Structure 1
């Protein structure tokens, strides 16, 4: 269990890091070019890793249901939506929303046993956990405080003129 937690923490850190990198790439290209670059280099890295660690078993695909093949297309949606979300939100806020949506969706699918998952009973405590996280995001986003705005008819004094 400890290894699973450590790997999940690493995955979360890598998702955040990748999202920042994707945003920086997107500043120089477009969203579709970013998605292509990210998933293309990811394909090459995973193919190389698979060939190194699994050898010829890389190409042994047994008992694959047709809908499993759509995972890569879902990845296109993930990267594209993350890049667009990062454009419109601060990195921490965007990742917070993404992870909350991920947790809420996983709770729903686990509770319903969708996509061949083992059905895990839904409990009120699990719902409260998701709602607490959503509350935390709201506090984070809305609790930043207000900056004092100057009236429209007053021009600020430039720093060079201040004594």
Structure 2
């Protein structure tokens, strides 16, 4: 269990770091170029490490359901949405919302047994846990409203204009 906790902590840190890097790449390219670069480099790295550690077993996929292949397309959605969300909301707020969404979705999928997961009973404590996290993010976001409101509004306008111009050019 300790190993799982440590791996989850490392994964969370790496996701946050990757999002900051993606945001910096996106400052020099468009959102789609960032997505292609991130996923292309991820493919190259995972193929290299997979071949090193698993060898010929890497592509042993006989028992995999075909609809699981959509995972790559979902990855495109993750990177493009995070890249644009970070630009509009800033890293901390965007990642906070992502975490709420992940936790809420996982709670629903676990409780209903969707996507091949074992059904886990929904409890009031789980709902309270999600609501506490949502409350914390609201306090974080709304707590210092007067201090940075003008700067945030200007940043939001600039970011929205850039996203709209990218969308028209796509």
Superposed pair shares fold, TM > 0.5: yes
Q: What secondary structure is seen at the aligned counterpart in 1 of 2:146?
A: coil
Match of 2:84 in 1: 84
Q: Taking structure 2 as the reference length, what is the TM-score of the superposition?
A: 0.85
Listed as ranges, the gaps of 5+ residues in structure 1 are: 150-163
Within 5 Å, give how 1:11-160 maps onto structure 2. Answer: 11-147=11-147
Q: What is the deviation of 1:148?
A: 9.7
Task: Report what 1:159 is aligned to.
Answer: none
Gaps of 5+ in 2: 150-170
SS of residue in 2 equivalent to 1:64: coil
SS of match in other structure, 1:44: helix
Q: Say which one has the larger Rg.
A: 1
Query: Which structure has the highest helix share of the two?
Result: 2
Write out the 4+ residue segments of structure 1 that deviate beyond 2 Å after TM superposition: none
Offset, 1:145: 4.7
**Cα offset, 1:61, TM superposition:** 1.2
Change (3 A) 1:148 1:53: closer
Question: Which structure has the higher relative contact order (CA within 8 Å, separation 6+)?
Answer: 2
Q: Equivalent residue for 2:2?
A: 2
Note the aligned Cα RMSD (angstroms). Answer: 1.3
Query: Against the structure 1 CA distance between its residues 77 and 62, is the aligned structure 2 distance closer, same or farther, given a 3 Å change threshold?
Result: same
Q: How many residues align?
A: 149
